[in-house]
Amino acid sequence: MIKLYEHPLSPYAQKCKIALYEKGIEFEAVLPDLLSGRTPSAEFSAVNPRLEVPTFVDGETSIFDSTIILEYIEERWPSPALLPRSPAERARMRMIEEVVDTQYDAVNWGLMEMLIFKRADGDLATKIIARAAEQTAGLQAWLERQLGTAKWLGGDAFGWGDLSVVPYVNASVLFGQAPKQGSKLAEWLARVNERPSVAKTTAAANEAAATGMAAIAGLVESGTFKREYRDHRLEWMIRSGGMSIVEQGLSRRTIRFSYEIR
């Protein structure tokens, strides 16, 4: 049985799950213990030295990094295709994925730091949340231009771009930053959320958000679970005025950087 180590709230895991559902590939979803502060299991450590989700296991093959997982899924099970035929359009889908996986992820992640984990209050929180709202609007405008007059980001068929983008835009809805009503992006979002693959994935994410956020917030506050400030996320927080948040989190040991491979 194929395994996907994941967490329902991870947008990186969500896009891999949607791809597997779209291709009709059966898999076992496994939630590794990454929240308790205990050393991850030897089984998980063996398949991903970076100790992060998603991690994909197909027999003797283990793969980390969501983009590499998507590429493997597309090559291993080429039908139905998730990438367009044109090399130029394939590149465009991958660029869309890169933008949302870095810039959009950083904005949503930063909002979660503010709204769920209460990293700041008062004027600082207001400033950072306002900055996130501006960036969300810019990203959504860019995505609407990428959509143009097409039904899907890749044209006539649902695919790579759509499954990469929808976890982030759905998160924006939860944060009160949905696409403008009547916009083409809002119409796209309603359409994409009707797909069974997306609906199933989003339902799992919403359930996890409803039942687990308070518990995770407590684990972060106690320092049991440390939020990972890596590359684009760290940059976002600093450039948005949150340098003191980073310093405080490091001092209180509620923030970490990526694990070193040993």
**Across the chain, what does the average pLDDT equal?**
94
Whether the pLDDT of residue 38 is over 80: the answer is no
H or E, element range at 236: helix 231-239
- Same-domain status, 56 and 154: no
Q: Which of 76, 107, 125 is the last residue of a domain?
A: 76
Are 68 and 163 contained in the same domain?
A: no
Name which of 65, 68, 75 is nearest 25 in CA terms.
Answer: 75
Rounded mean pLDDT, 6-29: 97
58 and 91: one domain? no
- pLDDT above 90 covers what percent of the chain? 84
Among 76, 96, 127, where does a domain finish?
76
Residue 81 lies in a domain: no
Considering the entire predicted model, what is its pTM? 0.95
Here the CATH number for the domain that contains residue 231 is 1.20.1050.10
| pLDDT, tens digit (0-9, with 9 covering 90-100), for 174-186 | 999 999 999 999 9
Which of 43-57, 99-113, 172-186, 212-226 is the least confident region? 212-226
Average pLDDT over residues 100-108: 98
Q: What was the pLDDT predicted at 262?
A: 81
**Axis-axis angle for helices 122-147, 184-192 (nearest 10):** 90
Domain extent at residue 156: 87-256
**What is the total count of domains within the chain?**
2
pLDDT at 35 over 80: no
C-alpha distance from residue 53 to each of 18, 75, 176 (Å): 15, 21, 26
End residue of a domain, out of 26, 49, 76: 76
pLDDT band (50, 70, 90) for residue 224 = confident
In a domain, 262, yes or no: no
What is the structure's pLDDT at 237?
97
